[in-house]
Structure 1
Amino acid sequence: MHPLQYELTLPADYDMGVVRARVARVAPLLEDWDGLGLKAYLIRERGVHGSPVNQYAPFYLWNTVEGMNRFLWGGPFQGLVDDFGRPAVRQWTGLAHAEGTGVRAAFAVRRSRPVPEGVALTAVMEEAVAETERLAAEDGAVLAAAAVDPHRWELVHFSLWEHLREHEAPKADGDVFQVLHLSAPGRGRLPRGRQW
């Protein structure tokens, strides 16, 4: 599993309807993309669920590096670069993936935190796996994943949820995103559980 995300932070007065229309137009391009586990088309809107910014921030779980590279180096990513400029693309090493019982993803939560100094790395990574399983077992969870960036020593927990009522706190800590669309051609082939 190869997690990837990029973020486009947009002006405070940006019409997020433009992003919604773009997603509706481009989402079919990845519905059968070989090597893609899933792509969650995510946005944050300033003032909604505590977001300080307008942002388009798709999150991917890739099954293969080849599929990811085809997307980045010769696929639909170029259209995004042409329209918005080239964003920094974050990639992590996958640690764990667990499926929940939820059906339709409406919200996502991403939490990043540093890997503490002076601790056994095995213990930290096992804790991340356990947190992934805990999140996936929550009512309304669609899936959960954990990954690590060993360059910055940062852990990332990502989860998809069926619903989040207005003024309701999510069952996971972190930045809350709206899911505009979920393309998941290889979701069933994503490896589950611990990734080592």
Structure 2
Amino acid sequence: MNAMQYKITLPNDYDMSLIRTRVEENGTKTDNFKGLLFKAYLISENADGAISNTYSPLYVWEDSYRMSQFIFEGFYDTIIHDFGWQSIQIGIPLRISLPEHFKEACYLLEKTVMIHQNSSLLSVPKELSKLLSTLPQSDLGELIVYNPDKWQATVFKFYAKKPIKGDAALYEILHISSK
């Protein structure tokens, strides 16, 4: 299983209704996409207190083969064409809990932390799970991914109502595609 996300930072005066329309018109194209566990179409807006306007889709793939097909067989080319070359962050899911009704989520909190150098990694999963508890409670799902290349982990939690973000990044979910 693999997670991927690209974060497209848009100008502060960018008309975010363009992204909303884009997702409204095209979001369902990834519904039931082969090998895709889910894709959350995420945006943040500086008008809502975010640091910048962003479009930041989050994907979880069943395997790297399907993710590679998406990237290299033309599907990702739309992003390159419309927004330019973007770095894709790749993560390995450590914990994933998505109830059937997780598609009801309208918001997502994201918090990234460093995995500090240590003589053992045995306690890391437990420490990352504790990090989940520092975010507001949610019954719509959670995901922890890690990247050993950067020694970072990212915690994602899904919400039906807008949570208090604290020091986490808050995104609005425009659509969730899944099986």
Instruction: Give the structure-2-normalised TM-score.
Output: 0.90
Contact 2:41-2:56 at 8 Å conserved across structures: yes
Cα distance, 1:127 vs structure 2: 2.4
Residue number in structure 1 paired with 2:147: 149
Cα distance, 1:92 vs structure 2: 0.9
Distance of 1:130 and 1:34 partners within structure 2: 33
Residue 100 of structure 2 is aligned to residue 106 of structure 1? no
Cα distance, 1:101 vs structure 2: 7.8
Letter of the 1:151 counterpart: D
Q: Deviations over 1:56-81 (max 9, x none)?
A: 00011111212211111114211111
Letter of the 2:24 counterpart: A
RMSD of aligned alpha carbons: 2.2
Residue 178 of structure 2 is aligned to residue 180 of structure 1? no
- The count of aligned residue pairs is 178
SS at match of 1:15: coil
Cα distance, 1:157 vs structure 2: 0.5
Contact 1:10-1:53 at 8 Å conserved across structures: yes
Distance of 1:96 and 1:136 partners within structure 2: 16
Letter of the 1:86 counterpart: W
Distance of 1:26 and 1:122 partners within structure 2: 42
Contact 1:101-1:137 at 8 Å conserved across structures: no
Cα distance, 1:173 vs structure 2: 4.9
Residue number in structure 2 paired with 1:90: 89
Contact 2:136-2:164 at 8 Å conserved across structures: no
Residue number in structure 1 paired with 2:24: 24
Per the alignment, do residues 144 and 136 of structure 1 end up closer, same or farther by CA in structure 2, a change over 3 Å counting?
A: farther
Structure 2, gaps ≥5 residues long: none
Distance of 1:155 and 1:144 partners within structure 2: 13
SS at match of 1:127: helix
Letter of the 1:23 counterpart: V
Distance of 1:130 and 1:35 partners within structure 2: 30
Distance of 1:174 and 1:101 partners within structure 2: 25
Contact 2:115-2:124 at 8 Å conserved across structures: yes
Per the alignment, do residues 100 and 130 of structure 1 end up closer, same or farther by CA in structure 2, a change over 3 Å counting?
A: farther
Contact 1:135-1:141 at 8 Å conserved across structures: no
Residue 118 of structure 2 is aligned to residue 127 of structure 1? no
Distance of 2:66 and 2:87 partners within structure 1: 19
Residue number in structure 2 paired with 1:40: 40
Q: Deviations over 1:4-49 (max 9, x none)?
A: 100110000000011111111221221121100000000000031x
Aligned-pair identity (%): 25
Distance of 2:115 and 2:164 partners within structure 1: 25
Letter of the 1:91 counterpart: I
Distance of 2:135 and 2:67 partners within structure 1: 25
Instruction: Give the structure-1-normalised TM-score.
Output: 0.82
Q: Which moved more, 1:121-130 or 1:74-83?
A: 121-130
